[in-house]
Structure 1
Amino acid sequence: MALDTAWAIDWVRRSAATIDNHRAELVTLDREIGDGDHGENLDRGFRAVVEAVDAGSFDTPGAVFKTVATKLISTVGGAAGPLFGTAYLKAAQAAGEAEALDADALVAVLTAARDGIVSRGKAEVGDKTMVDAWTPAVDAAAAAAGEGASPEQVLAAAADAAATGAESTDALVARKGRASYLGERAVGHRDPGAQSSVYLLRAAVDAA
């Protein structure tokens, strides 16, 4: 069954809840290799997103994604706001005016989100960024859809692959962002953006 606007709204609410639940963890991860504000910034951003969604009226998942994008860009500081905001904006464009998203449409949405992150951050796999979670997620989603998986199964495949990708950042030397200043000292620490991406994708699965 395709995923509709109610799913997109539930995804927003579950995203806010999981970011709130993991806020301290994300703060700690970012403090180890960054400036320590990732968890606080995302938490503030998704609280604003929920307020906007609760106050609005939406006919399509794409309209929900566009509101998420606008609020994250306007309320989240640091790199996370522009990166995640661009991801949701590109996702909204990919979703278009569809009232519900089937497996192939979800792959298009996830791919557009990843490509938006890459375009904004100029990062690639291996740079120790959220791209290390998003690219395997997109690849797994596409593979699942190609095998006839349901939308829910496509999202689950994406979330599982993102988790593995986030874990892979532990061993990497950062080549982008503030963490890149640490050189070898960044090894052994997980990228906070990759980990928060996992939580957002798992929220999408839970909403489905």
Structure 2
Amino acid sequence: MLDADFFRRWLTAMAAAVEREADRLTELDSAIGDADHGSNLQRGFRAVTSALDDDPPAGPGAVLTLAGRKLISTVGGASGPLYGTLLRRTGKALGDGTEVTPAELAEALREGVAAVAQLGGAKAGDKTMLDALEPAVEALGTSFAAGAEAADAGALATVPLQARKGRASYLGERSIGHQDPGATSAALLITALARTAEATA
């Protein structure tokens, strides 16, 4: 079973990953976006960890809902609303219980990913974070590690794609040959989940 502490450690691990990978995320974003993806996520996840430290929520759903609200209120550009929606909708799907199963988390994340797709009007193959998230939620039913592998593969698979949504879509064919920064950061989120689970086992 996964409790609130597990979810706090997951988001703390994501914040640490963003700190490590911020320059890389910004470098990827400079090729096909606004060159601010790394710094935006740094600001957002610093706010998330601070909020979780100040007033730790009692349940998994509440942890994700708080994190989602913080990302929406502190992150500029598209990544704040998208990541905020992902976490808030996942948290809402988890409900008010004090513990959830891995299967319940996988199903809730599926709802969160569907909300992101609806918000952005994107689908897998459009060269967005969904290219990592959609295969990840399919694989999470097997294991967290399988979800992380699927997310990483999905992010890598954005390199030959032409962007059809978001800032990168304005570049047309010039977006081909670059890994999508949103898919890359989404893979970090799922990898942080898998590593938190591994450390807990």
TM-score by length of 1: 0.92
Instruction: Give me the identity figure in percent.
Output: 46
Matched, 1:167 2:166: no
Distance in 1 (CA, whole Å) between partners of 2:149 and 2:173 is 27
Amino acid at match of 2:33: G
1:114-147 Cα deviation digits (max 9, x unpaired)? 11210111100110000111110111123x1xxx
Aligned counterparts, 1:8-157, within 5 A? 8-142=7-141, 144=142, 154-157=143-146
Distance in 1 (CA, whole Å) between partners of 2:101 and 2:149 is 19
State the Cα distance separating 1:50 from its structure 2 match.
Answer: 0.6
Distance in 2 (CA, whole Å) between partners of 1:203 and 1:85 is 17
Amino acid at match of 1:164: A
State the Cα distance separating 1:57 from its structure 2 match.
Answer: 2.8
Which residue does the alignment assign to 1:149? none
Point out 4+ residue stretches in structure 1 off by more than 2 angstroms: none
TM-score by length of 2: 0.95
State the Cα distance separating 1:98 from its structure 2 match.
Answer: 2.2
Greater mean alpha carbon deviation, residues 101-110 or residues 116-125: 101-110
Distance in 1 (CA, whole Å) between partners of 2:125 and 2:165 is 10
Distance in 1 (CA, whole Å) between partners of 2:147 and 2:101 is 15
The DSSP-based 3-state class of the residue aligned with 2:158 is helix
1:50-105 Cα deviation digits (max 9, x unpaired)? 11000013211111001100100000000000000000010111110122221320
RMSD, aligned CA? 0.9
